[in-house]
Chains A and B, each alone.
Chain A
Amino acid sequence: MSRIPLYLKERIEEVNKRALLDSFESQKLPRWEKTAITWFALMIFWMVVSASFHWQNILIGSIVTFIVSLLMYDMFTGDIQSSGNVVIKTLRILLLYIPQYIFIMAFRLLESNLKVMKHAIFLDINPGIVKIDSDLHSQTGLTILANSITLTPGTMTIDTVRKLDESKLYVHWIDVETMDRDKAGSMIKGDIEEWLKNIFW
């Protein structure tokens, strides 16, 4: 690398960054698929809220949710990875990934509640703020990871830093066990990050 002049180095870094950004952008879904997924999710929400299977109800619901999904198609589908068929992917997310996530998070939440109970009674705390790395680069994935970290035992996200290739999380740990970044990352994140990589980029 020392043979490359300094003024070329910046250009090369810039080109690399742009290629990386393009590769991330190309993983996004096209617009009609985003609209379709939003419509599907809002339709499920409408059926749950209105709690009736009459044809008038279904007709009104489909019209209303179609208009809302045309207006707000980018709100929670903007960062879903595009790979494979849409229908298969949606069904897999609904039937496989979301129950899996709920199953993992329910037990982690119970464990974290019991841990807070233990800390509140014995006051054996050793707090500190540590920094961990993450492989997720999209906003939604990082947000769900941070919210899950807040609900898992003993940790709470203070801030996230999202740059193009590296995203970091600052985590307040109520009982600091290790200062090493990789070890702390694997202890804090657990298997949630692996799960989130299935859906978000």
Chain B
Amino acid sequence: MTWASHLPIIVVLIPLLTAYITPMLGWMDKRICNPLVIVSTSFAFIASLLLARSVLTRGVISYHMGGFAPPFGIALVVDYFGAYMCIVISFLTLMAAIYSREYIAKELHESKTAPYYTLLMLMTGGMMGASVTGDLFNMFVFFEILSISSYALVAITGKKVAILASYKYLLLGAIGTSFTLVGIAYLYILTGTLNMADLSVRLASLYGVGRSSWTLLVALAFFMVGYSIKAALFPLHTWLPDAHSMAPSSISAVLSGILIKVGALALIRVLFNIFQPEFVVETIPVTSMISWMAAVAIIVGSLFAISQVDLKRMLAYSSVAHIGFIILGVGLATGYGTTGGILHIFNHAMAKGCLFLCAGAIIYKTGLRNIDDLAGLGNKMPFTMAAFTIAALSMIGIPPTAGFISKFYLGLGALETGTWSGWVFIGAILLGSLLTAIFYMRVINNIYFKEPLHREDVQRDETPLGMLIPILILAGGCVIFGIFPRIPLSLAEPAAKLLLGI
């Protein structure tokens, strides 16, 4: 089983190599791009599952590239959290790739097919890399790969607004990049290493030591700002609604479903892997600060979502709220809370991915984006709309969907803190859930219970099968993992425990 020990690098290399092959093959025949991408993401998905299995049986895997031991060589470190993220990333990308086959044919000009898949694979490779890397600068590089490809993907349709949205995204993203680069520099000055495990050991001796602890704080602040932009944490979310609503829907699903979660992953890595939990929780209450920001994000994001008329924009604002749920859970830094936050990464990825794919299917079939125009779609596209409803219920957190389980864990985590702010946080979680219900129920009511404008127009006109299958798989996942939450929890729980050191 020698190849199994190379799994950490395999999951990164599969998408990256595909990204290089795709344009070459695409140059010969465009039709080959999609099967190629689907096959390679399937392999990446299987590899991620195997990786998760070996992490679960053997514990954290450290892989040294080129055989150089850290801190000199670049290390890939796959812990429970990294393996978990790999599964989520490859799974959702696989769904988006299957969906793209028919969707892209209509949405994009033929000449853009190969670039589209190339960028998609680059982005996936970047996300996978950021999840498994154990080196801070390496993380920066992977982040750049995924960011730049996502900027391009947002603009790929070439529509007026999409380009502007992409520009806005790029501008803020570039600021975020620079900030993280500065943060890395500070840590490097202090410790002389970039390996995360090494950093955490060396930083531990610096806590509370005069000037260096101030330097640490500055570094932490730069990281917080930089990765908060990538994760679209309020108030640095301003790029998200434009970018996610203007991108092609398959890309929106990936962006909202996992890309911002990779930003959250970076925040978590910085907070808990590089800095020690005791430092960020007790010495300097950074976690409680980001929890407050996340609580505001939940409320503000939901309120903005309520006021939207455009379906995809509403979904995008809903992502602002839900990244708030994730960060809030992580920031609570309690066993239940962090588990809930990590679990919600998975649950939100499925639900939001499904919702964006459904929105794409609606646009594909009818060209409608406005929520008020959706009347009668329940009869027109019954399966798509049923999937939409299930995913929306999961977003609200209605049992037995997966969203309920994460809400349960987040609520327990908030109460577990035992402080008054915990009660405020649970208030934010519950209120956020209610507000989420308001805007999703509006859509559901429009779809099912509103007289269509022209009744005779309503005929059964379902989404093509190639697009429907990923939608249904994701919607099914929302229910299955609500009834069997132990499957994601088997990774999420040890991940949270490992991060918190409990």
Do A and B form a real pair? no
